[in-house]
Amino acid sequence: MAGFVNNLLILLLLFQNICLGFRSPLSVFKRYKDTTTSLSSECLGSDQPVISFGLSDFALDIRMPGVTPKQSDTYLCMSIPLPVDDEAYVVDFKPHASMDTVHHMLLFGCNEPSSAENYWDCDEGTCKDKSNILYAWARNAPPTRLPKGVGFRVGGETGSRYFVLQVHYGDVSAFRDKHKDCSGVTLHLTHQKQPLIAGMYLMMSVNTVIPPGEKVVDADIACHYKRSPMHLFAYRVHTHRLGKVVSGYRVRNGQWTLIGRQSPQLPQAFYPVEYPVDVSYNDILAARCVFTGEGRTTETHIGGTANDEMCNFYIMYYMEAKHAVSYMTCTQNANPEMFRNIPNEANIPIPVKSDVLKMMHGHHEETKDSDTSYLLQQAKKEEAEILDQDFHIEEAVEWPGLDLKLGQVSGLALDPENNLVVFHRGDHLWDENSFDSKFVYQQRGLGPIEQNTILVLNPSNAKLLHSTGKSLFYLPHGLSVDKNGNYWVTDVALHQVFKLGASDKEPLLILGVALQPGSDKNHFCQPTDVAVDPITGSIYVSDGYCNSRIIQFSPNGLYVMQWGEETSLGRARPGQFHIPHSLALISDLSQLCVADRENGRIQCFRLETGEFTKEIKHKAFGRELFAVSYVPGGLLFAVNGMPYPGEAESVQGFVMNFSTGEIIDTFIPLRKSFEMPHDIVASEDRTVFVGDVHAKAVWKFASAEKMEHRSVKKAGIEVQETKESETIVEARLKNKPESTDPLKNTDKHLVQEASSTGVSFVLITTLLIIPVVVLLAILVFIRWRKTTVYGADGEHKLDSSSGRILGRLRGKGSGGINLGNFFASHKGYSRKGFDRLSTEGSDQEKDEDDGTDSEEECSASPLPPAPSSS
């Protein structure tokens, strides 16, 4: 028995060492991240500046080595070499600094720092060779995030081999206690080649003079761009105390396009370019800083001290790798006359509270505690809109609306009371016999739908509150509700758009000619959706299955303008459509987003001009994207179509960050399955409804946190809360879309881990018990074999000392445990090493029925292959 126990103990020790050997590198980085967020009185990053967390990724901690500046406006520099010789890419930054001690930080890349000392006065310079600005921080700015696939190139034959950190200490009164400062930045680097290379374009005034007492002084900068195309994705403004507003523009053919505009007295972060801007050869980049000389008794010049001024507009851009240039500057005004036409917004100061100004410039002792948190709250709010919003959507399984008897559900909307409005086709179907080759409706003999096609439901219990739309429509499609509660719908058979009052039996407004398809100002061809601007009342129509355009009408139905064209051969260009199928109006940003169905993407445009602003496209969308919905605050919801035979993308719902286009979450129903989800609508509390034209059903989804709260409230006991929490976390792990960004995955993992302590405990306990049980089974088996082979002697052989047992573990003792022989006796074992695990098994199973749905609707387009219609 003693030998049995000894075997067990030693095997457990070996198992523990194996587990430690396979410790997740992400967990190492988690602890590393936790240590680097401490207060600046400790230099935790200097002991271990490099942390590897994957085969190709690592973090580099760049910190001031415990400095104590002795006078205000001190600039100190330090350098650190790139820890690898081959090419790498910086893909993320995390600052460690506070405005209590640091005015701003700059991170340079170069090949030869100005000094080899631990740190030095930056008056000696930053680099002996050419230096490139990689990053800039000031005044508690939120972290800079680079788009996916974009990185700053360093190392290799052409990239920088050193990082030089420059820290400007403005007011040194914070160092009266002689503490040491360790401000800096942590970089996330990867060896994986990035297809797009980031760079910095610095626009800077060098000769501006601000007269004393002058109310308004403009500093203008402009340069012609003479390089390969670049795409701008972030900007930062910088002045000292006299700056009121800084604005940057791209000027093309006399048209001024805003890059970014901000008060330099607010957190000087790199903010995303709200409407992505591309810059081409011979465009002009222009910037204006507005200053005031009020309160000064002498002239103020451009300079490096706090009593001087600066006018800087930083632009982060990316270019294709083969054309990439890492750093460019503009310090002149190539065309002063052009600034007569600068948009007036560039001349309007952005007001900032006086107490905020005091805090920004170090006079925080005069500021109340409630005001001290103003900037932090603002930064968090901006970051919540700009960066990821981590939550999970799942079906509200208790909602009875899934059991409603409906026709083909084509449209969904929410009215001003947040009631759900459903637009369905009753007993009519859209099938291959509905239209001829010229898109003329062929089933007029059926007459209009005799059921009420517009249903208003209680969003909580699906109770019918109101219904209308009887004997008006043939093939309903799109639906929206304006701020006054009017219903706006489209009918693809009638080729018309209707405005209906909630209690009116006859339409208040009709656009288009009944049953006549066309492409002029007065006709539509199977219009798909309609949206109404709540501010201006302008009407936007997506037209449609046989046209490829968006049309704007005045509030009373007069034609204003249109944009869009058919998709050309090859990759679809901005402004081209292949069935503009659904509209989402983003009134707070003055944009209109279109689900470009057959191009599998979302396109967004300016409401006023129809100018293209952005495209959102993901592989997970597949070939078709059916519908899109927007929630104020930065969330975009969408549903895609069924995959084509042989394609892997599943039909599902998506939650996206509107600013970045990144997928935050995906969701699928638990009851039934999506067949052809046709429309989606979401409310500000993140309740989501999806209507399916084939399943003839409406699903309700809600955030997991909200459902957890409701479940706990309903049950009223703590046990139910624990159970629901486990369910939510499990669903989150299943449905979260995978990200290729290791830092981002780490952050999301930490959030999930913190919110699921109960699950983690159960999981860890289970993982520990399983190997113990397996080991016990192995030992029992071996004991049985010994007894069988050796009889009573086998028991004595197993009751050996621990030294002999170790020998047997190595396969050396007579009758000992040889793990190699043990595993080799089992099928599939290779003595060359562990066999590769197959990753193909789950993909080999194919659905035997690859045919299309018998109820699939199709537009009888004469151009093969015709996309499915709905």
pLDDT in tens, 409-442: 999 999 999 999 999 999 999 999 999 999 999 9
Higher pLDDT: 18 or 559? It is 559
Confidence of residue 303 (pLDDT cuts 50, 70, 90): confident
Higher pLDDT: 777 or 431? It is 431
The confidence score (pLDDT) of residue 351 equals: 78
Q: What angle do CA 500, 504, 505 make, to 5 degrees?
A: 95
**Longest pairwise C-alpha distance within the chain:** 106
Lowest mean pLDDT among 405-414, 552-561, 563-572, 806-815: 806-815
Does position 866 have pLDDT exceeding 70, yes or no? no
Confidence of residue 504 (pLDDT cuts 50, 70, 90): confident
The confidence score (pLDDT) of residue 52 equals: 80
Does position 833 have pLDDT exceeding 50, yes or no? no
440-478 as b/e: b if 16+ CB within 10 A: ebebeeeebbebbbbbbbebbebeeeeebbeebbbbbbb
Per-residue tokens: 256: 């001024």
Which residue from 660, 707, 670, 666 is spatially nearest to 687, judged by alpha carbons?
A: 707
Q: How many Cβ atoms are within 10 Å of 395's Cβ, its own excluded?
A: 22
Confidence of residue 783 (pLDDT cuts 50, 70, 90): low
| DSSP sequence for 117-164 | SSSEEGGG-SBSS--EEEEEEESSPPPPBPPTTEEEEESTTTSBSEEE
Catalytic residues: 103-104, 166, 168, 238, 240, 310
Q: How far apart are CA 554 and CA 561, in angstroms?
A: 10
Lowest mean pLDDT among 264-268, 472-476, 518-522: 264-268
Does position 841 have pLDDT exceeding 80, yes or no? no
Q: How far apart are CA 523 and CA 497, in angstroms?
A: 10
Task: Give the best-scoring range by mean pLDDT among 208-222, 375-389, 724-738.
Answer: 208-222
Q: How far apart are CA 321 and CA 344, in angstroms?
A: 37
Which residue from 525, 559, 565 is spatially nearest to 543, judged by alpha carbons?
A: 525
Per-residue tokens: 555: 């509030």
Q: Which helix (H) or strand (E) holds 14?
A: helix 2-21
Higher pLDDT: 617 or 727? It is 617
Does position 353 have pLDDT exceeding 90, yes or no? no
Q: How far apart are CA 447 and CA 458, in angstroms?
A: 30
Q: For 581-617, how does the pLDDT look when each residue is reduced to its tens digit (9 = 90+)?
A: 999 999 878 899 999 999 999 999 999 889 999 999 9
- Which residue in the block uniquely carries the two structure tokens 């103003």? 374
The confidence score (pLDDT) of residue 764 equals: 59
Q: How far apart are CA 375 and CA 49, in angstroms?
A: 30
End-to-end CA distance of the chain: 73
Does position 843 have pLDDT exceeding 70, yes or no? no
626 residue type, one letter: F
- The answer for 605, left when phi > 0, alpha when psi is -120 to 50, beta otherwise, is beta
Which residues have CB under 8 Å from 301's CB, separation 6+? 208, 209, 210, 308, 309
Per-residue tokens: 7: 């075997």
709-738 as b/e: b if 16+ CB within 10 A: eebbeeeeeeeebebbbebbbebbeebbee
Q: How far apart are CA 476 and CA 494, in angstroms?
A: 9
120-159 as b/e: b if 16+ CB within 10 A: bebeeebbeeebbbbbbbbbbbbbbbbbbebbbbbbeeeb
The confidence score (pLDDT) of residue 307 equals: 84
Secondary structure E strands in 239-291: 243-252, 255-262, 271-279, 284-291
Average pLDDT in the 742-758 region? Answer: 36
Higher pLDDT: 464 or 805? It is 464
Q: How far apart are CA 464 and CA 466, in angstroms?
A: 6
Which residues have CB under 8 Å from 263's CB, separation 6+? 237, 243, 244, 245, 246, 349, 350, 351, 352
Confidence of residue 290 (pLDDT cuts 50, 70, 90): very high
| DSSP sequence for 552-578 | EE-TTS-EEEEE-EEPPSSSPPTTEES
Which residue from 448, 427, 447 is spatially nearest to 507, judged by alpha carbons?
A: 448
Average pLDDT in the 687-713 region? Answer: 80
Does position 663 have pLDDT exceeding 70, yes or no? yes
Q: For 695-706, how does the pLDDT look when each residue is reduced to its tens digit (9 = 90+)?
A: 999 999 998 755
The confidence score (pLDDT) of residue 809 equals: 35
Which residue from 187, 82, 39, 10 is spatially nearest to 802, judged by alpha carbons?
A: 10
Lowest mean pLDDT among 318-327, 451-460, 727-736: 727-736
pLDDT averaged over every residue in the chain:
78
Which residues have CB under 8 Å from 664's CB, separation 6+? 388, 389, 390, 391, 635, 655, 656, 657
Q: How far apart are CA 493 and CA 474, in angstroms?
A: 6
Q: How many Cβ atoms are within 10 Å of 195's Cβ, its own excluded?
A: 12
Per-residue tokens: 41: 């009185």
Q: For 481-491, how does the pLDDT look when each residue is reduced to its tens digit (9 = 90+)?
A: 999 999 999 99
Confidence of residue 23 (pLDDT cuts 50, 70, 90): very low
